[in-house]
C-alpha cells in the first residue's frame, strides 16, 4: 500500500469512528437498542421486536421522542395508538382508551395517541388539524395526549394501518402487543365488548409475562396519508 493511500484510509477510519460521518441508517435506531433498523417503510412491527425510535410533535408544536416518553429511568410502558377524531371507530374507542390511560397511569403506563392523517382530512365536523384536535380533546376530557404526524412517517415506521391501531411497548423497549383496543364490533355501541385485548396485554406486561394474545387484526378507518414531498 502506498503511504498516501495508507494515510487516507487511516484518516477515513478515524473520522468514521468519531461519528463525523453519518450512516444513512442513523435516524432509524430502536428504543432500547443501539443497532440500526433494517425494516422497510410500511412493514408492520411485530410483537417481540424492538420498538423503532421516533420524534413527534404535540398539538402545541413542541417535539418529544419515544425515549422521553419512556421516562428518565426508561421504565414506562408506552402504548402508541394511531388515532383520529375524524374516524367514528377511533371516537368509539376513545372513552375506553381514556379510561385505560387513567386506570393504568399509576402502574407506569402512558398512552400516546398519534394522528397520522393528512391535516386536510376531515370527518363530519372534525378535522385533522392541531387546532381541532385541541378542541375535541378538551370537549371530551381525554386522559391521554395527542401528537401529530401529518406525513405519516411514524405510521410508516410502525406499519400502522388504521385508526385506531395500538402498539404496546414494554419497559424493555420491545413491542408486546399490536392491534385492537378490544373487540368492539360497532362504534355506535362501544359498550358491547367481550374481549379486552389491550387491558389484558398491559396486565401481562406489568406482571412480567407475555400476553396470551400478542396481535389482533387492526380495525378502524384507514390512515389517510398525504402525498410525500419529492426528494431533493
Output the pTM of the full model.
0.81
| 106-152 confidence digits (pLDDT tens) | 999 999 999 999 999 988 889 999 999 999 999 999 999 999 999 99
Count CB neighbours of 202 within 10 A: 23
Predicted confidence band at 38 (pLDDT cuts at 50, 70, 90)? low
Predicted confidence band at 42 (pLDDT cuts at 50, 70, 90)? confident
Higher pLDDT, residue 230 or 130: 130
Higher pLDDT, residue 36 or 44: 44
> Which pLDDT belongs to residue 228?
57
pLDDT at 232 over 60: no
pLDDT at 28 over 80: no
> Which pLDDT belongs to residue 40?
73
**165 DSSP β-pair partners:** 82
Retrieve residue 182's grid coordinates.
378490544
| 183-220 confidence digits (pLDDT tens) | 999 999 999 999 999 999 999 999 999 999 999 999 99
Pairwise CA distance, residues 206 & 150, whole Å: 32
Detail the DSSP E strand segments found in 27-131: 29-30, 33-36, 55-58, 63-65, 77-82, 109-115, 122-123, 126-127
Predicted confidence band at 18 (pLDDT cuts at 50, 70, 90)? very low
pLDDT at 31 over 70: no
Question: What percent helix, strand, coil does the chain show, rounded to 5?
Answer: 30, 20, 50
Retrieve residue 111's grid coordinates.
398512552
> Which pLDDT belongs to residue 189?
95
| 176-185 confidence digits (pLDDT tens) | 999 999 999 9
Where are the chain's structural domains? 25-222
| 116-126 confidence digits (pLDDT tens) | 999 999 888 89
Higher pLDDT, residue 4 or 161: 161
**Does domain 25-222 bear CATH number 3.40.30.10?**
yes
Amino acid at each position: 500500500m502506498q503511504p498516501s493511500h495508507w494515510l487516507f484510509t487511516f484518516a477515513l477510519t478515524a473520522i468514521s469512528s468519531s461519528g463525523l460521518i453519518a450512516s444513512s441508517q442513523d435516524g432509524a435506531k430502536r428504543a432500547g437498542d443501539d443497532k440500526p433498523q433494517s425494516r422497510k417503510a410500511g412493514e408492520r412491527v411485530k410483537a417481540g421486536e424492538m420498538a423503532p425510535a421516533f420524534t413527534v410533535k404535540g398539538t402545541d408544536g413542541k417535539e418529544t421522542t419515544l425515549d422521553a416518553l419512556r421516562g428518565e429511568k426508561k421504565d414506562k410502558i408506552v402504548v402508541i395508538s394511531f388515532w383520529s377524531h375524524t374516524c367514528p371507530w377511533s371516537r368509539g374507542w376513545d372513552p375506553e382508551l381514556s379510561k385505560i390511560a387513567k386506570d393504568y397511569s399509576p402502574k407506569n403506563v402512558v398512552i400516546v395517541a398519534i394522528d397520522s392523517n393528512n391535516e386536510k382530512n376531515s370527518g363530519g365536523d372534525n378535522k385533522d388539524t392541531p387546532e381541532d384536535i385541541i378542541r375535541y380533546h378538551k370537549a371530551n376530557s381525554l386522559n391521554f395526549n395527542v401528537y401529530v404526524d401529518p406525513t405519516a412517517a411514524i405510521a410508516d415506521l410502525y406499519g400502522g394501518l388504521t385508526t385506531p391501531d395500538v402498539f404496546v411497548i414494554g419497559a424493555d423497549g420491545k413491542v408486546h402487543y399490536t392491534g385492537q383496543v378490544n373487540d368492539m364490533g360497532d362504534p355506535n355501541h362501544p359498550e358491547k365488548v367481550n374481549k379486552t385485548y389491550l387491558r389484558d396485554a398491559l396486565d401481562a406486561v406489568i406482571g412480567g409475562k407475555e400476553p396470551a394474545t400478542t396481535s389482533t387484526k387492526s380495525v378502524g378507518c384507514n390512515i389517510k396519508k398525504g402525498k410525500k414531498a419529492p426528494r431533493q
